[in-house]
Amino acid sequence: MNKISIENLTLHYSDDKESLQNISLGIPANAITVIFGPAGGGKSTLLRVLNRLNDLTDVSFMKGRVLIDNEDILDPRLDVITLRRRVGMVFARPVVLPMSIRQNLTYGLEVAGEKDKSKMDAAIERSLIQAALWDEVRDRLNDPAAALSGGQQQRLCLARVLALEPEVILLDEPTSGLDPISTGKVEESLQELKKTYTIVLVPHSVQQAARAADYAAFFLQGELVEFAQGDKLFTNPTDKRTQDYVEGRFG
Amino acid sequence: MKNSLHWREYLITRLFRISGYSAIVFVGMIFFFLLREGLPALGKVEFVSLFSARWYPIEEYFGILPLIGGSLIVTIGATLIAVPFGVGAAIYISEIAPRWMREILKPLVEVLGGLPSVVLGFLGILILSPYLRILLNLPTGLTALAGSLLLGGIAIPTVVSVSEDALDAVPKSYRDAALALGATEWQTIWRVTLPAARSGVLTAVMLGVGRAIGETMAVMMVTGNAAVLPKGLGALFAPARTMTATIAAEMGEVANGSVHYHVLFFIGIILFLISLVVNVTASTVVFRQRKRQERILS
């Protein structure tokens, strides 16, 4: 069953840097869908459409529909704040907010109006365990989040999203700044998380794409070249361009 | 050929070094002359009467407390006006205003910052103080309040432009992160962008305070210049006299080397110390913040 359906989505920025051209794509629930391809292919743009973070940029042209649970999220009347609570996002560079570890985790809940302290504490513990960070920070939740290492910060960002119990998690190259061990930890938690969430991942390498993908979509210059189950796309792609990229002949 | 290049290089580095050191030398010399002319006041006037509440130099009353009090009340008033409005305007310019608005507002603020304070003082005398007199039903509009309002206006451009730079320097990713968590625009500004820029905003506030406490002309024109020790909030609606205005008004007519002359310089020392404290506080706060940021980034 598809959680997200993208129908004929076309998008241009005013500076023509990146674009999406007539994308149609169904993203299944409870699986990791990997969106990969060379830089400038529109991967980040697609993610930013899914939680309407693109509202803030200079989009000069947009057409098409994006449905989450059969509801059009591009509808201008839609409450983007609620949407962003349902569709969480982790960025390429870990951005911890200038607060303590605990406050980073409760910030989303607080702005959502949650006041019950015991619920918050439960959410903190649950999300940190899910993000494989609990053991490392349980004794110092009140330390400034900026004091954590890069890998810990990125897992904190993941935990921060999980604390809100979203339905969809968007990850934009979440391990690009991390060492192999931290990368491994994040990937492991993703495999665990997909049981509960719909995950859309822009990986930072083809190898990671192949490791993580249940489904994979190959993007090239704003165009969706191929979409298939992960095993098929990485071992037996239909399109020549996909094959060339996966085998490392360009990009 | 090679030799002449070498020489030029040598001369140029020396020239820059001299320019650099000259700043230190100038500050040192200013401080030295201030001390040389001001410290004798301590020998000629008793310490207790120097810090008494009566300033009446013609009859040899040199109590500088009313002047310090006048400066404080006017500066505090100005800060209370300049900080909220300045920071608010900076937030509007950097976070909320559409681009075309930003491009109009930024240069306008810079122009406002470049206005000579005499011009503002003139407006203060002609428009602000008569208006205040009628509005608040006071015997005179030339009050500490008028000075505060005017000084606030003078300090606002400094506060706006420095804190706008600080807000602008907050990475876009911070805003994205907060928004992606479902924060509204206002929640993002208040809880994320502003705290992230706080060292810069604090510098802006300190620079604004510095600008306000050192300002002379405009204040002298609108505060009424009565050296009365401010007591309580009511003093805001009465004439006051600041340290800067006193020096500017009386230095011209005092006999070189007289007690009065030395006391005026002594007031200069106190002013110098106050702005030194303000500046040092600002830079230590910023320095500490920067240290922490460097540690985090490395």
SS3 A91: coil
For the segment B173-215, what is each residue's pLDDT rounded down to a tens digit? 888 888 888 888 888 998 889 988 888 898 888 888 888 888 8
Nearest chain A residue to B171 by CA: give it.
Answer: A95
Assess whether B75 and B206 both reside in one domain: yes
Assess whether B211 and B223 both reside in one domain: yes
Tell me what pLDDT residue B297 has. Answer: 46
Tell me what pLDDT residue B89 has. Answer: 95
Q: What is the mean pLDDT of chain A?
A: 88
Structural domains in chain B (count): 2
Mean pLDDT for the stretch of residues A25-46: 90
Mutate which: A54, A86, A97, vs B, most B CBs within 10 A? A97
Assess whether B11 and B74 both reside in one domain: no
- A29 contacts A3 by C-beta, under 8 angstroms: yes
| Subunit contact A98:B195, Cβ cutoff 8 A | yes
Rounded Cα distance, A246 and B49, in Å: 88
Distance to chain A for B130, nearest Cα, Å: 47
Tell me what pLDDT residue A26 has. Answer: 92
Task: Assess B251–A contact: CB distance below 8 Å, yes or no.
Answer: no
Burial of A47 (0-12, 13-18, 19+ CB in 10 A): buried
For the segment A85-94, what is each residue's pLDDT rounded down to a tens digit? 999 999 888 8
Task: Assess B288–A contact: CB distance below 8 Å, yes or no.
Answer: no
Assess whether B119 and B215 both reside in one domain: yes
Pair of tokens at residue B91: 């937030």
Task: Assess A51–B contact: CB distance below 8 Å, yes or no.
Answer: yes
- A35 contacts A47 by C-beta, under 8 angstroms: yes
Mutate which: A51, A52, A95, A164, vs B, most B CBs within 10 A? A95
Q: Could you identify the residue written with the tokens 């809100």?
A: A164
Q: Considering the entire predicted model, what is its pTM?
A: 0.77
Tell me what pLDDT residue B90 has. Answer: 95
A248: left (phi over 0), alpha (psi -120 to 50) or beta: left
Assess whether B286 and B243 both reside in one domain: yes
Assess whether B10 and B129 both reside in one domain: no
Q: Chain B residues with CB inside 8 Å of A89's CB?
A: 176, 180
Mean pLDDT for the stretch of residues A210-224: 91
Assess whether B33 and B69 both reside in one domain: no
Domains and CATH numbers, chain A: 2-93+168-246 (3.40.50.300)
Mean pLDDT for the stretch of residues A233-250: 87
Assess whether B222 and B86 both reside in one domain: yes
ipTM above 0.85, yes or no: no
Tell me what pLDDT residue B14 has. Answer: 93
The set of residues, in sequence order, having a beta carbon less than 8 Å from that of B55 and lying 6+ positions away, is B61, B62, B63, B64, B66, B67, B227, B241, B246
Tell me what pLDDT residue B298 has. Answer: 39
| Subunit contact A81:B184, Cβ cutoff 8 A | yes
For the cut 90, the answer to whether the pLDDT of residue B118 exceeds it is no
Assess whether B225 and B108 both reside in one domain: yes
Assess whether B27 and B46 both reside in one domain: no
Assess whether B259 and B229 both reside in one domain: yes
**Which residues span the domain enclosing B11?**
2-38
Tell me what pLDDT residue A131 has. Answer: 85
Share of chain A above pLDDT 90, in %: 31
CATH code of residue B192: 1.10.3720.10
